[in-house]
A and B are shown apart, each in its own frame.
Chain A
């Protein structure tokens, strides 16, 4: 996989991790951004031409001030696909990326291939309030996100030594910038009324959930299914909310089996 950079017509500049060959597949990352190690993308690249853009406000991608609300985010997704010159790609979205992917598919239901939503955000159930990710202590984050929080902590920091004050500072600044941007569609409650629009989905859809997801618990899969009647549901053992990173092999296998 290699990095490239694309400019959208709106004026953002986005870094995109690209690799593989086959049918085009776009992966939209979660609120925490693309982690340093993402072996699931390498695996997917064995069967597809994979594009994993970083959202404005993440990594080297800029233009975050141009995106303020859900519609801006969803149209940006399509702008990116246009800028990359793709036609009817499969769209895979994780968590916040799943929320955006679903919104995109409601706006332009015939412009994508198949749709994969991995533990997507975007719905709210009063019976299962989602923990407030904007009000967590640093060590609490891994506990909420991973089946194995200790290993998860390492995945989150990408091996950076946070005892080093400069590394800590850099990590803190980048994470503040990412979550500031994510807050525009996730704060204070990650629900921008997607449920009213999901009836428009036409793409064949798969919902994938980690069995030990403590952020958006697997009960949410049922809610999604009620709103997207034809969606298939797969669950993955030994994985929490960060299922693509925690179980890359199982995750890519499930996705490949669905996309064909």
Chain B
């Protein structure tokens, strides 16, 4: 079982009554709510936490891409990942990922991911989301009905750029480049492990299975609600005749660990409620522009997907609901272990993206929860899939001889004599 410590990087200063005062946390959130001087502090706190997770023994540390979003301060996850390559040395760096339909030209992603893989010594996990409609359509202007087609083309260009040893011409519908020649190239061969974050579209399942990519369901609504979707995925895996390795799938879960269940509520409830009440307050039309979902998927989900209904759920959430419905797994190490075992077995997942920092949670609570998890929960969940223990198809393959950044203070130089041969 692999555990990745994931930070969404929410803005912790959203005002009280955010829901009443503003229509959306995403796309048209008033940018006067952002204070760059506080932002300086926030970035460094979050980066410190990711580095701390590496030291605690998490298998991976993760970041993602959102734009104009009050719960995501990473329009460029690659900048975050770049800092992590320097100050961590062990954990996989999971960039989940770059919304490639929005990059022009997409070779930029092939280059930047290659840079990250080289800088980290082969520790990159590369995510290729289609991108939420908020990000890809409303913030980055891509036409909804053509987004998936453009996504597939961008994917093809990036993968060919990584695989090819010679310059080639790419005559795409959306991108034409006469000279594609990826430089630098990634360390991991044939390419870094690829994760596709998705919702419930059948097309995404098939895309993952066509290429043997990991399918990551990044929900904020817990494993009970994630079950039917993952069941659909595993049915598809079986129907396609693929093996059932749990490492084909990943799931995101909010987790809060304390000494006791009561203590967990006392420490974490307000911050989780901040996340659900303020950070997920999205103007429904931004979540569902016509054409973003294929007609097949719209028919499959039809009205159940109408997001007003989801917004209603969020209006008067209580801690009890968060816990009962497992939006949040919280409690003593034993409670958390039990519920996560149910989550991991029930969804059949080999990768868990663990969300320990939630909403406006202060640094010390985030670290407290993460440390209890690393010391008292993680070791007892390690061996959930003994029969797949050696399956590393969806995990990093770093260089053995990785180097650490050297001190360069005057007088403390340890200059390298020669370039390695």
Contact = CB atoms under 8 A, between A and B. Distances in A.
B145 interface: yes
Contacts of B143: 183-184, 187-188
A136 B284 CA distance: 9
Contact of B290 (A137, A169, A177): A177
A137 B298 contact: no
B289 A135 contact: yes
B303 A137 contact: no
B286 interface: yes
Contacts of A169: 302-303
Main secondary structure, interface of A, reads: helix
Contacts of B137: 134, 187-188
A180 B303 contact: no
Contacts of A180: 144-145, 290-291, 295
A257 interface: no
A188 B141 contact: yes
Contacts of A187: 137, 141, 143-144, 289, 291
A82 interface: no
B385 interface: no
B285 interface: yes
B146 interface: yes
A226 interface: no
Nearest to B308: A137
B251 interface: no
Contacts of B295: 173, 176-177, 180
B241 to A, nearest CB: 29
B299 interface: yes
B283 A173 contact: no
A169 B295 CA distance: 13
Nearest to B139: A188
B123 to A, nearest CB: 37
A135 B303 contact: no
A212 interface: no
Interface in B272-296: 283-286, 289-291, 293, 295
A32 to B, nearest CB: 11
B233 interface: no
B138 interface: yes
Given A173-B302, A176-B291, A135 B283 contact: yes
A240 to B, nearest CB: 20
A183 B289 contact: yes
A117 B117 CA distance: 55
B138 A188 contact: yes
Contacts of A137: 284-285
Contacts of B145: 180-181, 183-184
Nearest to A168: B303
Contacts of A136: 285
A26 B151 CA distance: 37
A180 B299 CA distance: 14
Interface size class, chain B = 20 to 34
Interface string B219-257: 000000000000000000000000000000000000000
A176 B298 contact: yes
A136 B283 CA distance: 9
Contact of B144 (A134, A165, A172): A134
Contacts of A189: 141
B65 to A, nearest CB: 19
Contacts of A37: none
Nearest to A176: B290
A118 B27 CA distance: 32
Contacts of B293: 176
Contact of A135 (B138, B141, B291, B306): B138
Contacts of B289: 134-135, 179, 183, 187
A45 B183 CA distance: 65
A184 B143 CA distance: 6
A29 interface: no
Nearest to B286: A135
Nearest to B291: A180
Interface in A155-192: 165, 168-169, 172-173, 175-184, 187-189
B94 to A, nearest CB: 30
Given A68-B146, A176-B298, A183 B286 contact: no
B165 to A, nearest CB: 33
A136 B23 CA distance: 12
Nearest to B305: A172
Contact of A179 (B138, B290, B303): B290
A169 to B, nearest CB: 5
B289 to A, nearest CB: 5
Nearest to A170: B302
B299 A173 contact: yes
Contacts of B144: 134, 180, 183, 187
A134 B302 contact: no
Contacts of B303: 165, 168-169, 172
Question: Which of B145, B146, B283, B298 has the most chain A CB atoms closer than 10 A to its own CB?
Answer: B145
A80 B150 CA distance: 28
Nearest to A179: B290
B134 to A, nearest CB: 10
Interface string A133-160: 0111100000000000000000000000
Interface string B66-80: 000000000000000
B285 A134 contact: yes
Given A134-B290, A173-B302, 17 more contacts: A134-B144, A135-B283, A137-B284, A169-B302, A172-B303, A172-B306, A175-B290, A176-B291, A177-B290, A179-B290, A183-B144, A183-B145, A184-B146, A187-B141, A187-B144, A188-B138, A189-B141
21 contacts: A68-B146, A134-B137, A165-B303, A168-B303, A173-B302, A176-B290, A177-B290, A178-B290, A180-B290, A180-B291, A181-B291, A182-B290, A183-B143, A183-B145, A183-B289, A183-B291, A184-B143, A187-B143, A187-B144, A188-B143, A189-B141
Going nearest first, the 3 A-B pairs with the smallest beta carbon separation are: A180-B291, A179-B290, A180-B145
